[in-house]
Structure 1
Amino acid sequence: MSRHGLGRGVLRPGAAAGFLQVRQHPPAPGLAALVDFYWNPRWDLRGRDPYEQKVLAHPNVHLVFEPEGALVYGVQRGVFVRRLEGAGQVLGVKFRPGAFRPFAGGPVADLADRAVPAAGILGTDADEVGRRVLDLDDLPAMAAHADGFLLGLLPALPPDPQVAEVAALVEAITARPQLFRVDELARELDMPVRRLQRLFAEYVGASPKWVLRRARLHEAAARADEGAGIDWAALAADLGYADQAHLTRDFTAAVGAPPSRYAGR
């Protein structure tokens, strides 16, 4: 979590901290290999203008119980924008990287940049579970409903040892934002580049190159949110960029503003 409690990847968290709270809860032990955690954003903008929260998403699929229905969000490769207004909440399920593949029944890349009704993938009970969840305020009770729903789906899922392998690969990448090249990663893993690319398309929903780049941008955005006075040339070198200009191009393309302007607000 960031110092604002909103999580890494949430852009300009200080601007939202006054009206947005994000709680987290672990899944049941039987789901720990598949689900990272449940997340529960709650906002209160009554008497204020609507707010667009921007997020640099992670390489994870999410199931989100929303008032309009339960949705499955594939990996969002651009900046994800959520419009908040009034007061409300959702409950999200953050699947571990690669762990939604058994539920999807096909390549997770097919879900990239999409939000699809969960009923078509997880069954029609998903919307009813969502209604019960969002009627509650107690997070452990909300999580218990989600636990029961997901645990009920597990007996129909065939065992897939590659889920754990892919989760470990992504976690290794995200823990090392200095890693820059896919061929370098493949050499470290003693794995052909083509196999690595196929695994990521099938299980993650984004390419290894995208995951490598997103890990670096998460680190750069987190540093920028700490405020001004950052040595961007040194940070670029720390993150494996050839020079500051390369970092600036990547950051601007993803966030919509150069890092120095983003940090300076």
Structure 2
Amino acid sequence: MKKAENSSSRGILKADAGKSMYTLSRYESGAELKPFIEHYWSIRYDLDKETSYKQTVLSYPNIHLAFEQDTEGRRALLYGVPKTPFVRELRGSGRVLGIKFRAGGFYPFWGQDISLLYGATISASEIFGPSAHSWLDDILDADDDAAMARQADILLENWLPDRDAQAELAAHIVEEIMNNSSIIKVEELSMHSGLSIRQLQRLFRKYVGVTPKWVIKRFRLQEAAERLEREDERIWPDLAVELGYFDQAHFIKDFKAVIGQSPAAYRKGKKI
């Protein structure tokens, strides 16, 4: 299974600290699944009895299907876009094979508004039926991370849906928001996309699960966290303006509301 080119840690808060606690790998899907799946990801960890590690992720606007094994057993879960930062505490040993669907990419498998999954975590069997239980063992019993991803690819190919042009349009617009930091308002996104604000709202509710404003703010806050971790303090006074905020007070309020700390506390490395 070919490793994915994307090795970014964007959205993984304090990612450098986690590198000694777990390994993260990403793999490409097969060609037929590429319109629907961004990549497979795998995590493995093996901590001693006295050690635990809490990882916080400022999630992307994507649906994830995860096959998990830890000290509590095995499970297959579907994760909607979370309402708050995703937090997972690692203890003992475990492994996960995750499937990151493209923004809009899960809709063809489900056929319902993705907004219904906002903040939800449900059993994979509710979507894929009893077969999800056998998938759990088929994937987690594979020899290594690449083999787990290959097995997931084989299983999902049997559920291959028809492509959906609107879902792919939603994916394209989300990617544009992520890569174009000059888009800081829904009105600007409307101009870039050629869609009215109302059309964007309907498209995102059905295919992405969150609003265009949510996506813009999320990517800008991911960028803020990444820059606060990696760049010189001298950028701090200008950061709010560069991310499209009217003033620092509004930026600090948003950052603290989502991440749970002020930007200054986050920069100093205090625990979340």
Q: TM-score range by the shorter chain?
A: over 0.9
Q: How does 1:217-232 map to 2 (within 5 A)?
A: 217-226=221-230, 229-232=233-236
The structural deviation recorded for 1:92 is 0.2
The CA deviation at 1:6 is: 6.9
The equivalent of 1:200 in structure 2 is 204
Q: Which residue of 1 aligns with 2:92?
A: 86
CA distance in structure 2 between the aligned counterparts of 1:205 and 1:219, rounded to whole angstroms = 21
Q: Aligned partner of 2:119: which letter? A: D
Query: Take 2:163 and 2:21, find their aligned partners in 1: how far apart are those partners?
Result: 42
Task: Give yes or no for the alignment of 1:51 onto 2:53.
Answer: yes
**1:230 shift after superposition:** 4.3
Instruction: Give the counterpart of 2:246 among 220, 242, 248.
Output: 242
Where do 4+ consecutive residues of structure 1 move more than 4 Å? Answer: none
Q: Deviations over 1:153-198 (max 9, x none)?
A: 01xx344211211110100011123322112211222211111101
Residue from 39, 45, 50 that aligns with 1:37: 39
| Unmatched tracts of structure 1, length 5 or more | none
Q: Any unmatched runs of 5+ in structure 2?
A: 1-6
Residue 27 of structure 2: aligned partner? 25
Task: Indicate yes or no: 2:97 matched with 1:119.
Answer: no
TM-score (norm 1): 0.93
| Distance apart, 1:49 and its partner CA | 2.9
Give the total of aligned pairs. 259
Equivalent AA in structure 2 for residue 105 of structure 1: G
| Inter-partner Cα distance in structure 2 for 1:31 and 1:207 | 26
Aligned residue for 1:75? Answer: 81
Offset at residue 219 of structure 1 (A): 0.4
Alignment match of 1:97 (pick from 96, 99, 103): 103
Report if the CA contact (8 A) 2:97-2:145 is conserved: no
Secondary structure at the aligned position of 1:231 is classed as: helix
In the TM superposition, 1:246-265 aligns within 5 A as 246-265=250-269
2:66 match: secondary structure = strand
Retained in 2: the 8 A contact 1:28–1:147? yes
Q: Deviations over 1:82-103 (max 9, x none)?
A: 1211011100000010010011
Q: Is the 8 A contact 1:27 1:36 kept in 2?
A: yes
1:104-127 deviations in Å (ceiling 9; x for gaps):
220000011111111111222122
